[in-house]
Structure 1
Amino acid sequence: MITYRGEFRHAARKPGRGSEDDHSDGSLQRDPTDARPARRAVLQARHSFAHQLQGRRGGGCPDAAARHGTVRTPEGKPIGGTLLDFWQVGAEGVYDGDGFGLRGHQFADADGKWRLETVVPAMYPGRTRHVHVKVQPPGGTVLTTMLYFPGERRNHLDKYFRTECLMDVRETPEGWDASFTFVLDV
């Protein structure tokens, strides 16, 4: 495990050893026995969530944030075509379960680069600020994890918090800029 900020190494699991969040073959396919309503909105590729908050809270987009990074092997080779599925709460600290706002996926480019424009998620009871992400290299297994913001007073209180999942964050005139590199053993 890499234990420094902004990078996370994931060793591929063998098929049949998936977690509750992903299927045993490592795919992001919908479980046919799942009785919940289908989330068709998730199928839309999104590189920006920020537009979904225009017109809320006084007409502006509070606390804009850009997240970007790369997906690569331990040797530094980019893993192009990696699927990244993001979801988070908005400024009110609530997940949008009806309209599936602040949820979407994208594919890393040929250089393994990805970018997402969104807002800074709120904290809510029992949790520090975080962003959920599933990462799946082409033909590989799914990594389900969360990315965290450094310097948050509640990081140490969140039972799911992991220092190796801290993003490198800096403030810019346009909002927060956060970067993260996923290192996958494929």
Structure 2
Amino acid sequence: MGLPHFQACPGARTGFVFICPGRFEAARGTPCAAGTGANLARALAVLNERLPAQFPSPLRNRYVITNSWSRVEYPALTQRSVPTLNEVLEVDNLERLAAEVAALEAIVACGAQAHAAVQALADRGAIQARLAFARHLSQRSVNMIAGAADTPGRIGVWCSGVIAQLTKPA
């Protein structure tokens, strides 16, 4: 079994940072399990079709996938589902995250804590990647995306936002 918070991919140029592993990730030993993983798979298919230079495969094992917080969080275990921003921004945590994503050319940060951690790394010069900041891919978050009536449409809108950020001139 792997790490519930981190999927390495030697040689990957692109990666995703989510918030933290939960009960499904703990049970499966991999990040982005269950609904979030299904939505990531949908997004990768669209991203690969629309921007293959940055997303060369629709398969998740071709990307680094990690979390802004490595500890498993879910209410029955920790009485909460996400870490605090202060926890995510702790020096030891940021050093761990930097080591996991430092080699990437592009990072998609998904969710508020992921945004904060990735931005902190960029502000410190710990990463040089192009960055995209997007909603988390949990079904609850995807359902709040405006501009489409169903999950595939909302994922398409999400992907358009990611692509716009990664392809804008520097």
TM-score calculated relative to the size of structure 2: 0.30
From the two aligned structures, give the one with the greater strand fraction. 1
Higher-Rg structure is 1
Higher relative contact order (CA 8 A, sep 6+): 1
From the two aligned structures, give the one with the greater helix fraction. 2
TM-score calculated relative to the size of structure 1: 0.29
